[in-house]
Amino acid sequence: MFEPIERVPGDAILGLIQQFKDDPNPNKVDLGVGVYRDESGVTPIMRAVKAAEKQLIDDEQTKSYIGSHGDPEYGADVLKLVLGANSPVLAADRASATQSPGGTGALRLAADFIASQLPGKSIWLSEPTWPNHLGVFSAAGIEIKRYPYVDDQNQLDFAGMLAALENIPKGDVVLLHACCHNPTGFDLSRDQWQNVLNVLRERELLPLVDFAYQGFGNGLDEDAYGPRLLAENLDEVLITQSCSKNFGIYRERTGCFIAVAKDTEQMENVRSQLAITARENYSNPPGHGSAIVATIFNSPELDQMWRDELKVMRNRINDLRKQFVAGLEPHGLADRFAYVAEQRGMFSYTGLTKAHVERLRDEHSIYMVGSGRANVAGLNADNIEYVCNAIAQVVK
């Protein structure tokens, strides 16, 4: 039976990781990986997370199922984190939280919900976007369409994006990155979010906001500007949230699917459908990550510790962005790469071409994705000058 099954190539990024491992050059630099790295190149467990886990060992009473919507305490915490503790949306009781296996699980819930409850609607993704968006939505049988996001000069193409949104058929779904756009790092300004809101309202489009990096851009509340604006001004908004990055609990698979509806009645209707969607996919979400998050939010001390640690991570990335541009200054390249300091989140569309990326890898053992996407958190005090010098050599 298995004879006709063909082998497909593995994930390009996984291939890159292997190549990096096999490279004997002691100066090699990994800018391809998709996780946060600290100054010593480690993806650390946050102290607040460790402390919460220690507490859970003593306090956790059961490992029984937590239900299709997950832990209600975690759901309430995430709603406040994403929408704001004093959100009018929460006061009106028109937002529902369904705990999910990571942000990817939340996206799959969103995809199945759209496919089953809004049949015939297409989803519009930025070009480029996180590659797995294509996989998740096509696996659910949803037609994928694209809107432009970056122009030939490697700048945010907001005019192109808005013009495309203005022509999307009524009722279609538009996926927006809340902050720290992956892979480009180009985020919308507050004015641009307002423009997007106006078009969504006029065209009666349904936004699906992917919020995987809250706290990695400018701050927990600052990064939530877009999703909060939409949730407070539109009747219907979908949000997929992830705790993978901002709590550093990637492998605990902890996320949330938030559905904002016009009123409590409609929200409860949607929520009832989501319980079925979750149940048919995986029954119940995993419980360890959500217990960690709820334990942290339950303790003012751990909550503060977590916020402080997250701030250190965010500042490190934003400082590295500035240092990178400064490191290119002696080569006369600071203006050309100035946008790297303005981008937000871990990732940067550097504007380097595939040929540049190949030379960086082959001649300097610097690894990044073929699109020129670099993980800024892979830089550190020891390698940043080496990387800047190498870039100067390949672009000249």
Query: Which spans of this chain sit near ligand PLP (rule: CB under 6 A)?
Result: 34, 102-104, 130, 177, 182, 210, 212, 242, 244, 250, 255
CB nearer to ligand PLP: give 184 or 383.
Answer: 184
DSSP state of 394: H
Which DSSP string do the residues of 316-366 spell out, in sequence order? Answer: HHHHHHHHHHHHHGGGT-TTTTTHHHH--SSEEE----HHHHHHHHHHH-E
Contact predicate 243/293, CB 8 Å = yes
Given the residues 71, 210, 223, 306, the one annotated as active site: 210
Are the C-beta atoms of residues 143 and 292 closer than 8 Å to each other?
no
Q: Looking up tokens 């705990």, which residue turns up?
A: 99
Q: In the 8-state DSSP scheme, what is residue 368?
A: -
Closest CA to 110 of 140, 76, 68: 140
Neighbour tally for 276: CB within 10 Å: 13
* Residue 28 falls in the annotated catalytic set: no
CB of 296 to ligand PLP, least distance (A): 17
CB of 130 to ligand PLP, least distance (A): 4
If the CB atoms of residues 250 and 386 are measured against ligand PLP, the closer one turns out to be 250
Shortest approach of ligand PLP to residue 139 CB, angstroms? 14
If the CB atoms of residues 172 and 210 are measured against ligand PLP, the closer one turns out to be: 210
User: Measured between alpha carbons, how far apart are the two ends of the chain, in Å?
Assistant: 54
One-letter amino acid identity for 15? G
- Closest to ligand PLP by CB, 173 or 390: 173
Dist. CA 338–CA 325, nearest whole Å: 6
The Cα–Cα gap between 179 and 214 comes to 7
- Smallest Cα–Cα separation from 237: which of 113, 150, 143, 72? 113
DSSP secondary structure string for all residues of 126-180: EES--HHHHHHHHHTT--EEEEE-B-TTSSB-HHHHHHHHTTSPTT-EEEEESSS
Closest contact distance (angstroms) between CB of 4 and ligand PLP is: 32
Q: Active-site residue among 77, 157, 187, 245?
A: 245
Determine whether 210 is an active site residue.
Answer: yes
193 is catalytic: no
CB of 262 to ligand PLP, least distance (A): 26
Least distance from ligand PLP to the Cβ atom of residue 110, Å:
11
List the catalytic residue out of 130, 157, 172, 193: 130
Q: 61 CB contacts (<8 Å, ≥6 apart)? A: none
| Smallest distance, ligand PLP to C-beta of residue 242, A | 3
- State the Cα–Cα distance between residues 241 and 260, nearest whole angstrom: 13
- Residue pair 200/234 in contact (Cβ under 8 Å)? The answer is yes
| 109 vs 204: CA distance, rounded Å | 22
Supply the residues annotated as catalytic. 130, 210, 245
